[in-house]
Amino acid sequence: MSETLTLAVTKGRVLKDSLDILAKVGIEPTEDMSSSRKLVFETTRPGFRLMVLRGMDVPTYVEQGVADLGMSGRDVLLEHGGDGYYEPLDLRIGQCQIMVAGLKDEGPLPKRLRIATKFVNTTKRFYAEKGVQVDIIKLYGAMELAPLTGLAHRIVDIVETGNTLKANGLVPIERVEIISTYLIVNKIALKTKHQYITPLIEGLAGVTG
């Protein structure tokens, strides 16, 4: 490969699954990414690099063309709302849901709810489509505390097993989105490097479908 391709992956729990998928199409890092503090890694495919980023940064790097491709959670893409990339493939990893949740024994609620979430844009769209006015409180963690302390009436958050909700006296109420990890591709890169990117997309589709 004469061109260099850079693919941004998300650090954390989904990284192993992302690397497993890439290995199935013959792309593996040349060193152990989990034990290194480096952010850019060469791979067994010449000219193909991996860049490790925080999840929220992957779409930005791809949209700006620093990375040609990325693997990003659908939750991040919905919040980012960028238009500088395509989303050609659901990789079917990191699957979970964004849910509305509230106290199991919540009493009568006012017409205008306070919703605590880090998914501000997604939550706004969800309630706007329902024609419901809400006040959104942005939090970055410990979301379950918001209803318990009276900060918010309900929360919108990622739910995998529901165990954390249950442990804090909350229950899922309504599904907002089904989430998984998507392959995203910079729009310009797809045109200028299509002879390299298109076979990669097809290869990944073959091992994830």
What pLDDT, in 10s, does the model give residues 172-187?
A: 999 999 999 999 999 9
Predicted local distance difference test score (pLDDT) of residue 52: 96
Predicted local distance difference test score (pLDDT) of residue 36: 86
Q: Please give the class, per CATH, of domain 5-94+180-208.
A: alpha beta
**Do the domains at 5-94+180-208 and 96-178 have one common CATH topology?**
yes
What pTM did the predictor assign?
0.90
105: helix, strand or coil: coil
Mean pLDDT of the chain: 94
What CATH number labels 96-178? 3.40.190.10
Predicted local distance difference test score (pLDDT) of residue 2: 53
Predicted local distance difference test score (pLDDT) of residue 1: 52
Predicted local distance difference test score (pLDDT) of residue 40: 96
Predicted local distance difference test score (pLDDT) of residue 35: 83
Predicted local distance difference test score (pLDDT) of residue 161: 87
| The one-letter amino acid at 52 | V
Q: For residue 129, what are the CA distances in angstroms to 9, 124, 126, 137, 176? A: 32, 9, 5, 19, 11
Task: Residue 124: count other Cβ atoms within 10 Å of its Cβ.
Answer: 14
Question: What are the structural domain ranges in the chain?
Answer: 5-94+180-208, 96-178
Predicted local distance difference test score (pLDDT) of residue 13: 87
Q: What is the pLDDT of residues 81-112, one digit of tens each?
A: 888 999 999 999 999 999 999 999 998 999 99
Pairing status of strand 5-10 against strand 69-73:
parallel
Collect the ranges in the chain with pLDDT lower than 50.
none
